[in-house]
Structure 1
Amino acid sequence: MKQIFKNAFRGAALAGSIVGLGAAQLMAQDDARFSLELNNAAQTDAGGCRLTYVATNQSDLGLNQTAYQVGVFDAGGVVRRILVLEFGALTAGKTRIVLFDLADQPCTDISRIIVNTVAECTLADGQASDFCLTGLATSSRTDIQFGL
């Protein structure tokens, strides 16, 4: 009976250790993030929309080049454009503000923007990486939805 109790206790301790390791790995993954925030959308004098993005590399990975292919939806939910937004290089812990002008596209006619795919994600050492998608977190401070 004592042996059964000891084995059950060891099994529970081992399971607890595995869960603890999994939680630590998840916390480490949460720390390794790349965030894109649609911070502002302002009408231009020419009738277009100027999108202001805040890109933050919250990881310890240096990024030599980052670019995303996005789809822009009009107020009716129809895809109006597919374009590439280039965010450039972001060293570890770096935040960068990037402006994009959409000519002939009023801000009021944009309902949402989605990240369709990663156009480029190159680490500081020149190697391609999937971090720009697997570590990506999106948000919007505007009326325009922005996400995956």
Structure 2
Amino acid sequence: MTSPSELASPETLADSALLKDLYTDWSEIMATTPGMTTRLLRSFDELHQTSREPEDVSYKEEAVGAVAGIWALPKDADTSQVLLYTHGGGFAVGSAASYRKVAGHVAKALGTCSLGPWCTPAGERFLTASSLARDLSRGLT
């Protein structure tokens, strides 16, 4: 749990300002642009800027079966288990890159590796959750 002194630290306040600026940018784009534009969809990839890198976690891009993704590899992790980290966004916003640090933090806390798949943006090859899981399970076994 975060202590009151940590909430008021200069680092936390700077992170809060960054997050506020990001949400302000998104709000301005949505207010001035009718519909979901490519610019708005791509702006969600900036979310990773609001979180810190987990310590002692490395990353590796690799295809698993038919699905490319980013591995989060915490030091001393149990590599016999894999956390499949699919981010929110309805397969339309965000990416494996924008959630890589979050996946790294979760994997480190669990003591395992995680794989964040690159979910193909809508309009290209639209992967459903079930086909993504099927392709990954084939690649991981």
TM-score (norm 2): 0.23
Higher relative contact order (CA 8 A, sep 6+): 1
Q: Which has the higher strand share?
A: 1
Which structure has the larger Rg? 1
Q: Which has the higher helix share?
A: 2
